[in-house]
Amino acid sequence: MIHVALAAKPSDFDSKVRLPGLSALAELVGEPPLNKRPGPKRTPIAKRREEIPAKELPDFWTLALHDLMSAYHEVCAYCCIRIERTTGAASVDHMVAKSRQWDRVYEWDNYRLASSRMNSRKNIHEVLDPFDIENGWFHLELFGYQVIPNPSLRDPLRQQVIDTIVRLGLNDPGLRKARERYAKRYLEVGDSFKSLMEDCPFVAMELRRHGRLLAGDR
């Protein structure tokens, strides 16, 4: 994993996602909607917003997926690979799980672009936030392309890195093979370093750390 900088909120996010979501929550607890919408009123299912089951929350966050793909260059925040068949389809992950904090469900800064596989593995569990981690906490072994914690890290951070690697399955055979494929396309086939940075930035940064960049690249 590498640090991911929070992208600016799209200008239409509030009107498209946040306000409809908050309005739906109001209806689901028996309050007047915050904005008008076509169709029948939603039936109240709880007395308080925090009591609304996560599975009953209207999925307005899916309307942000296109913007997330554009803002984060189609790269999964967790496995750091351009979202492809190996990683699973693109999805919106709630860094703070929907079941834990209702007031973060429709907030742009709580969304992480994630492959469906990473999203499923994370689920409601806590992992290190790509927005908060620092580059260098996660290292890559070039023999086997396995992710490991930086040997200089000390507990509790070292254990948090290990727990994140395990929870997300960052060393499953498919992801290790994908990292190897991208590295070899750069080292042996002739793909540009720019392409490697776009498709698999963690591998690109680790090749630089290992001193394996080709002549002319930095």
Report pLDDT digits (tens) over 32-53. Answer: 998 888 788 899 999 999 999 9
pLDDT at 88 over 80: no
Q: What percent of the chain has pLDDT over 90?
A: 89
Give the integer Cα–Cα distance in Å for 14 and 112: 17
Beta carbons of 104 and 94 less than 8 angstroms apart? yes
Query: Which pLDDT value is given to residue 196?
Result: 96
Report pLDDT digits (tens) over 129-166. Answer: 999 999 999 999 999 999 999 999 999 999 999 999 99
